[in-house]
Amino acid sequence: MKAILGSPLGAGAVLALAWLVLVPLLHVPPLILPSLPAIIRDALSVWPALAAGFLRTLLETVLGFVLGAALGVGCGVAFAYARWLERAILPLFVASQTVPVIAFGAIVVIWFGNTLLEKVMIAFYLTFFPVTVNTIRGLRSSDPERLALLRSFGASGWQRFVKLALPSAAPVIIIGLKLGISLSLAGAIVGEWFGATVGLGVMLLQSLYDEQTARVWVLIIACGLLGALLNGAISLAERRFVWWRPA
Amino acid sequence: MIAGSSVTGSAKPALLELVGVSKRFGRAPQETLAVRDLDIAIQPGEFVTLIGPSGCGKSTLFNMIAGLLPPDAQGTILFGGEPQGDGKLLGKVSFMPQKDLLFPWRTVLDNATLALEIEGLPRRAARQRAEALFPEFGLQGFERHYPHQLSGGMRQRVALMRTFLFERDLILLDEPFGALDALTRAIMQRWLLDIWARHRRTVLFITHDIDEAIFLGDRVLVMTARPGTITLDERIDLPRPRDPAVITSEPFMGIKRRLLAILEQESLKSFAVARP
Amino acid sequence: MRLWATVLPPCAAILVLLAVWQAATTGFRVPDYILPDPLAIIGTIGSSAGSLGSALGVTVEEAMLGFAIGAGIAILLAILMVLVPPVETALVPVVVALNAVPAVAFVPLALIWFGLGIWSKVGIAALSVNLVVLLNALGGLKAPDAAAIDLLRSYGARPLGVLWRLRLPAAMPAIVTGLRIGLSRSTIAVIVAEMLGAYTGIGQIIYQSTAQVDYLTVWAAVLVAVIASLLLYAVLVVIDRKLVWWS
């Protein structure tokens, strides 16, 4: 029962049902929560823009994420094996995760203009740090006994990395990737606020200025769907590559 | 000091020889001496068991033979007559630690071939070699399973297979049957002797079980409490192949009584040290 | 000795970074709107200390308030969900759905509901904190295995007793982790919300300065926000160590 409710599809279905029934029942004012049919009508009225926006934001998020994840894992590997680099820079990385990097959005626009690249850059920046930190943690978590076993076989450093360190790190890296993809999405949306014509973030901002509550909800749901889709993709990768229970 | 002696004066050098090997851990003044003045010689084809009280340094000894720890400067380890510098022994000895240490993300087959892969054997050839041994190790049909699907005894057998596939003259087994129940252990002991007779490698086997040590070995080395050194080197002249019934025979009991006396002495020393 | 080893390398790295930054911007005569030099930024902070300070005060107040409300509700909810399982079953779809939507997508809604005053920011902060603390707390409270629980029950403990003696202490590390992540999220959420609509606050200053093309102030405000976040993070690390010293 809980499993069905916990799945995105199940949760969505239950919520939709509750929404459909409760809003008219409790006479909730449309300014707070419009009825489900009203939301659907509004969504359909802007369907082309909504679809285009969905795809555009998806593109920005995925590009930023892929760049951030690739660089993040690369840096993570470098830092894990060069202790001096790690000691100097890792604390900065960890602290930077608390910094309101999104505030830099304005400056990023100055640097990269009002382009796709600008949104990708923000998304990239937000993904990069958590993935790096998690990669380092994961690589460090190799079981020392298994390491000794490989050494006793005469394994080279590279072999120890590929056969033990990397697989051991995979579960932790995936956690970093999950975090990265949500941050990447948030970054793309906020990036769009600083200037864009197409995108979910753009439409969200517009609906705020026009004070259209229904539209706001449409976009919240659209963002939620996008988020669920991306998270689901990572979870799929997790089930395919990191399915084992740690020994 | 060794009471009793190993074969001397033969033309072929001992396969493994430890001369005056000690190992200190930590820095003065808190340094601990784990093992002290070990003198051991193992001939090719022998099955030697090592027994001693807890904490006597058996695992430290194994780590040194496997090349994972260097002995202190004044001792030497010779392999095939050649002295081995720091790390030179890595990859020369087939080492099986106490835990099976299987990799959970690899199938049983790929776990068995782990050492072969490291050696550089291509995957297909390694897998073929391993697959041939599955029936002998009682694991036929489990090639594509994963470690978490196997029982403890089966995982131990996979680890043993990994150890045997790594074709080296010397095999080190650190309490491989320690975690098994008595019944499984008895079966595994007989099966191990069978395999050893067929593949004829040299085996050094650590155990805390006196029956096991006498039943399996050509020789039994007894270690003292920490700092561990060899206090007894007992030749076991029971006929091979070993009949399970020999455990209750008079000669066996005689040897056991001798070893028990020394072991109890040494174990009490460990306990005395532990008490505040 | 150990404190120096951990603090010195990152401080050195920061100083090197600042020095290179200063040299590059003055040496290459980089215009202010692309990248101001650190000294100019610090100068601006000095000259605008008053307005920046009061804005920061508002932002921090909103973040703390949101944090307290969000975390408090989350912990109470988690305890309720553990004591009364049907509550958990009922809330699972809501939590799953809310988790999928990036918190930033709710900012327009918060502004429509609560206006431009502090409560919209507090609300957003509370939301971002709530989810993370709730999920962590729930995971931590449910962690003790059946054997441990049965043991306590065999001593005659009732559910509340099991909660107090076993589940809560076991959940502390997870809860504290959640609180740490929540605190940094609350600051970021508040600043983002302020950028979209507020009377005052660091985010609002960033937004206004961008509109007025006063990039020096943008950098100054961002820097102030960064320092505040780092201080908050440091406070958290200390609290973490005091509360969860055994892990």
Least confident span in A27-36, A106-115, B216-225, C178-187: A106-115
The C-alpha of A168 sits at a distance from chain C's nearest C-alpha, in angstroms, of: 22
Segment 188-207 of chain B within 8 Å of chain A by CB: none
Chain A hits for B98, CB-CB cut-off 8 Å, are none
The C-alpha of A134 sits at a distance from chain B's nearest C-alpha, in angstroms, of: 20
| Fold entry, domain C39-243 | MetI-like fold (1.10.3720)
Query: What is the reported pLDDT for C13?
Result: 76
Residue C161 in this model has a pLDDT that exceeds 60: yes
| Torsion angles phi and psi, residue A150, rounded to 5 | -65, -40
Residue A15 in this model has a pLDDT that exceeds 80: yes
Q: What is the DSSP letter of B56?
A: S
Based on the fold, state whether residues B221 and B178 are members of the same structural domain. yes
Task: Work out the average pLDDT over A189-204.
Answer: 87
- Physical contact, B and A (3 or more Cβ pairs within 8 A): yes
Domain-terminating residue out of B167, B189, B213: B167
Residue B7 in this model has a pLDDT that exceeds 60: no
Give the CA distances from residue A104 to residues A111, A112, B111, B121, B127, in Å, rounded to whole numbers and listed in that order: 11, 12, 49, 53, 54
Of B101, B105, B115, the CB nearest to A244: B105
Query: What is the reported pLDDT for B273?
Result: 60
Give the amino acid at B133.
L
Residue bearing the bigger pLDDT, C156 or A54: A54
Rounded to whole angstroms, how far apart are CA atoms C144 and C170? 7
* Contact assignment for A153 to B119 by CB distance below 8 Å: yes
Q: How big is chain C, counted in residues?
A: 247
Query: What is the reported pLDDT for C3?
Result: 64
Residue C236 in this model has a pLDDT that exceeds 80: no
Based on the fold, state whether residues B182 and B267 are members of the same structural domain. yes
Residue C245 in this model has a pLDDT that exceeds 70: no
Residue C120 in this model has a pLDDT that exceeds 50: yes
Query: What is the reported pLDDT for B6?
Result: 47
Based on the fold, state whether residues B112 and B61 are members of the same structural domain. no
What is the β-pairing status of strands B219-223 and B202-207? unpaired
Question: Residue A114 in 3-state DSSP?
Answer: coil
pLDDT band at A29 (very low <50, low <70, confident <90, very high): confident
Tell me what percent of the residues of chain A surpass a pLDDT of 70.
Answer: 94
Based on the fold, state whether residues B69 and B149 are members of the same structural domain. no
In sequence order, the 6+-apart residues with CB closer than 8 A to the CB of B37 are B1, B20, B21, B22, B75, B229
Rounded to whole angstroms, how far apart are CA atoms A158 and A161? 5
Give the CA distances from residue C61 to residues A247, B150, C45, in Å, rounded to whole numbers and listed in that order: 46, 56, 20
Domain boundaries, chain C: 39-243
B79: which strand partners? B16, B82
Burial class (CB in 10 A: 0-12, 13-18, 19+), B5: exposed
pLDDT band at B3 (very low <50, low <70, confident <90, very high): very low
Please tell me if residue A83 touches chain C, with a CB cutoff of 8 Å. no
Based on the fold, state whether residues B148 and B260 are members of the same structural domain. no
Rounded to whole angstroms, how far apart are CA atoms A178 and A182? 7
Chain A hits for B103, CB-CB cut-off 8 Å, are 146, 163-164, 167, 247
Q: What is the mean pLDDT of chain A?
A: 86
Task: Work out the average pLDDT over B3-20.
Answer: 66
Query: What is the reported pLDDT for B257?
Result: 92
Question: pTM here?
Answer: 0.82
Query: What is the reported pLDDT for B24?
Result: 87
Exposure string over C118-148, b if 16+ CB within 10 A, otherwise e: bbbbbbbbbbbbbbbbbbbbbebbbebeeee
Based on the fold, state whether residues B86 and B120 are members of the same structural domain. no
Task: Work out the average pLDDT over C63-76.
Answer: 92
Least confident span in A3-12, B56-65, B109-118, B124-133: A3-12
Based on the fold, state whether residues B88 and B178 are members of the same structural domain. yes
Residue B199, Cβ neighbours under 10 Å: how many?
Answer: 13
* Contact assignment for A153 to B166 by CB distance below 8 Å: yes
Least confident span in B141-145, C66-70, C230-234: C230-234
| Helix (H) / strand (E) containing B235 | strand B230-235
* Contact assignment for A155 to B146 by CB distance below 8 Å: no
Question: Scanning every residue of chain A, which has its alpha carbon at the shortest distance from the alpha carbon of B113?
Answer: A153
Residue B4 in this model has a pLDDT that exceeds 60: no
Based on the fold, state whether residues B158 and B58 are members of the same structural domain. no
Query: What is the reported pLDDT for B216?
Result: 93
Task: Work out the average pLDDT over C208-231.
Answer: 82
Task: Work out the average pLDDT over B81-106.
Answer: 88
Query: What is the reported pLDDT for B1?
Result: 40
What is the per-residue pLDDT across B107-164, written as a single tens digit (0 to 9) for each?
A: 999 999 999 999 999 999 999 999 998 988 889 999 999 999 998 888 988 998 999 8
Query: What is the reported pLDDT for A122?
Result: 86
Please tell me if residue B146 touches chain A, with a CB cutoff of 8 Å. yes
Least confident span in A4-8, B182-186, C180-184: A4-8
Rounded to whole angstroms, how far apart are CA atoms C209 and C221? 9
Cis (ω within 30 of 0) for the bond into B241? yes
Residue B244 in this model has a pLDDT that exceeds 90: no
Neighbours of chain C (3+ CB pairs under 8 A): A
Question: Scanning every residue of chain A, which has its alpha carbon at the shortest distance from the alpha carbon of C229?
Answer: A99
Query: What is the reported pLDDT for B11?
Result: 57
The C-alpha of B214 sits at a distance from chain A's nearest C-alpha, in angstroms, of: 28
Residue bearing the bigger pLDDT, A56 or A116: A56
Please tell me if residue A158 touches chain B, with a CB cutoff of 8 Å. no
Of B90, B101, B146, the CB nearest to A151: B90
Considering just the CA atoms, what is the radius of gyration of chain B in Å? 19
Q: What is the mean pLDDT of chain C?
A: 83
Tell me what percent of the residues of chain C surpass a pLDDT of 70.
Answer: 94
Q: How big is chain A, counted in residues?
A: 247
Task: Work out the average pLDDT over B251-268.
Answer: 87
Residue B217 in this model has a pLDDT that exceeds 80: yes
Query: What is the reported pLDDT for A98?
Result: 65
Rounded to whole angstroms, how far apart are CA atoms A180 and B73? 51
Query: What is the reported pLDDT for C67?
Result: 92
Contact indicator for B255, B214 with CB cutoff of 8 Å: yes
* Contact assignment for C105 to A224 by CB distance below 8 Å: yes
Task: Work out the average pLDDT over B233-262.
Answer: 88
* Contact assignment for B68 to A151 by CB distance below 8 Å: yes
Domain-terminating residue out of B167, B186, B217: B167
* Contact assignment for B92 to A154 by CB distance below 8 Å: yes
Residue bearing the bigger pLDDT, B122 or C218: B122
Q: Indicate left, alpha or beta for B81 from its phi (over 0: left) and psi (-120 to 50: alpha).
A: left
What is the per-residue pLDDT across A58-70, written as a single tens digit (0 to 9) for each?
A: 999 999 999 999 9
Number of domains comprising chain B: 2
Domain-terminating residue out of B149, B167, B185: B167
Task: Work out the average pLDDT over A180-205.
Answer: 89
Of B66, B105, B119, the CB nearest to A152: B66
What is the per-residue pLDDT across A108-125, written as a single tens digit (0 to 9) for each?
A: 777 777 788 888 888 888
Task: Work out the average pLDDT over A139-148.
Answer: 91
C85-100 vs A8-25: helix axis angle to the nearest 10?
A: 100
Q: Indicate left, alpha or beta for B121 from its phi (over 0: left) and psi (-120 to 50: alpha).
A: beta
First to last CA, chain C: 23
Query: What is the reported pLDDT for C12?
Result: 78
Show the beta-strand stretches assigned E in B64-168.
Answer: 76-79, 82-83, 94-96
| Fold entry, domain A48-241 | MetI-like fold (1.10.3720)
Based on the fold, state whether residues B40 and B88 are members of the same structural domain. yes
> From the candidates A15, A97, A107, A179, which should be mutated to test the interface with C, based on the most C CB atoms within 10 A?
A107
Residue A24 in this model has a pLDDT that exceeds 60: yes
Residue C29 in this model has a pLDDT that exceeds 90: no
Task: Work out the average pLDDT over B55-69.
Answer: 87
Query: What is the reported pLDDT for A36?
Result: 84
Q: How far is CA B77 from the centre of its chain?
A: 16
Rounded to whole angstroms, how far apart are CA atoms C82 and C168? 11
Please tell me if residue A100 touches chain C, with a CB cutoff of 8 Å. yes
Task: Work out the average pLDDT over A214-219.
Answer: 91
Which range scores top for mean pLDDT: A147-151, B199-203, C29-33? A147-151
Query: What is the reported pLDDT for B2?
Result: 42
Residue C209 in this model has a pLDDT that exceeds 70: yes
> From the candidates B94, B100, B118, which should be mutated to test the interface with A, based on the most A CB atoms within 10 A?
B118
Burial class (CB in 10 A: 0-12, 13-18, 19+), B270: middle
Q: What is the mean pLDDT of chain B?
A: 86
* Contact assignment for A220 to C101 by CB distance below 8 Å: yes
Range of the domain at B76: 1-93+171-276
Based on the fold, state whether residues B72 and B115 are members of the same structural domain. no
Rounded to whole angstroms, how far apart are CA atoms C33 and B131? 68
Size of interface A-B (CB pairs under 8 A): 61
Rounded to whole angstroms, how far apart are CA atoms B213 and B217? 6
Residue bearing the bigger pLDDT, C214 or A163: A163
